[in-house]
Amino acid sequence: MSMNDINFWEMIFRTTITFIALLILARIIGKKQLSQLTFFHYTTGITFGSIAGEISSQEETPFWDGMISLIWWSILTIVLSAIALKSTKMRVLVDDKPVIIIQNGVICEKNLKKARLHLDELMMLLREQSIFSANEVAYAVFETNGELSVMKKPPFAGATKKDTQANLTPPLCMPTEVISNGKIIHRNLQQLDLTEEWLLKKLRGKKVQSVEEVLFAQVLDDHSLYVSLKEKQNT
């Protein structure tokens, strides 16, 4: 590319006007923290920035055509957000709705599938909040921004009378998954130096006759067993 092919002042003009327009339109649309963005707002923001980038950097893109597209995209976003504020149905259509994933320590298999989460992802989200067992959870809600909101059971929430007893006994192990979707995870049992017979005995103690009935099971830090059954067995 030669110097004659570079339209210096045109690109300066494009970039400056696009920058100012982007600033103004972004303030009009409103703002959310990145951690609060729903998928709709996330994709809208990406498209908004892509249009602006195309206008300011691509000479072959007609400037005013691109600016009209940017402004119209902003108007559509504002109108849809205004409708969503007044209409619950539209809000659900745009942002979806929160889903209860754990209720009273029991994993809701149907809602887990609805949220398109697998068990490993759920446990990762819990560990991010320093929760290593679903047994500690009263309610866990998968929010529309992809985060997990958790209400702990009273014995595990903050400083309680249970905490003041100052039990300094070290945990026997980190809470570890041993059954997932009706299948035993043998490598985890081996790491805990536990046997399949021990696991089956624990299940029978909880009146669970078959591993296939179990959605999720976890050996807790005191070697007790947390079990969440598949929904068809809970009804």
Q: Examine the domain organization and report whether 87 and 114 are in the same domain.
A: no
- Looking at 65-79, 133-147, 174-188, which range is the least confident one? 65-79
Q: Which domain holds residue 54?
A: 3-94
Q: Examine the domain organization and report whether 37 and 60 are in the same domain.
A: yes
Q: Examine the domain organization and report whether 30 and 64 are in the same domain.
A: yes
Q: Write down the pLDDT at residue 174.
A: 80
Q: Which helix (H) or strand (E) covers residue 12, if one does?
A: helix 8-29
Residue ending a domain, among 42, 66, 94, is 94
Q: Write down the pLDDT at residue 32.
A: 55
Give domain status of residue 9, yes or no.
yes
The CATH number of whichever domain residue 146 belongs to comes to 3.30.240.20
Encoding tokens for residue 232? Answer: 């068809």
Q: Examine the domain organization and report whether 144 and 183 are in the same domain.
A: no
Q: Examine the domain organization and report whether 112 and 74 are in the same domain.
A: no
- Judge contact between 119 and 109, C-beta under 8 A: no
Q: Write down the pLDDT at residue 1.
A: 43
Instruction: Examine the pLDDT at 233 and tell me if it is beyond 60.
Output: no
Q: Quick check: helix, strand or coil at residue 153?
A: coil
Residue ending a domain, among 139, 159, 179, is 159
Give domain status of residue 219, yes or no.
yes
How many distinct structural domains can be found in the chain? 3
Task: Using alpha carbons only, give the angle 78, 81, 86 rounded to the nearest 5 degrees.
Answer: 130
Residue ending a domain, among 94, 120, 144, is 94
HSE at residue 233, side-chain half, CA atoms within 13 A, is 19
Residues 65-98 as b/e (b if ≥16 CB within 10 A, e otherwise) read ebbebbeebbeebeeebeebeeeeeebeebbbee
Encoding tokens for residue 188? Answer: 């985890």
Which span out of 14-23, 83-92, 110-119 was modeled with the highest average pLDDT? Answer: 110-119
Give domain status of residue 21, yes or no.
yes
* DSSP of 61-130: S-HHHHHHHHHHHHHHHHHHHHHHHH-HHHHHHHH---EEEEETTEE-HHHHHHTT--HHHHHHHHHTTT
Q: Examine the domain organization and report whether 105 and 184 are in the same domain.
A: no
Q: How confident is the model at residue 66 (pLDDT cuts 50, 70, 90)?
A: confident
Q: Which residue has the higher pLDDT, 35 or 230?
A: 230
Instruction: Examine the pLDDT at 196 and tell me if it is beyond 90.
Output: yes
Encoding tokens for residue 8? Answer: 């210096």
Mapped to the 3 state alphabet, what secondary structure does 177-230 carry?
A: EEEECCEECHHHHHHCCCCHHHHHHHHHHCCCCCHHHEEEEEECCCCCEEEEEC
pTM for the whole thing? 0.59
Encoding tokens for residue 202? Answer: 């624990």
Q: Examine the domain organization and report whether 227 and 187 are in the same domain.
A: yes
How many CB atoms sit inside 10 A of residue 117's CB?
18
How many CB atoms sit inside 10 A of residue 181's CB?
12
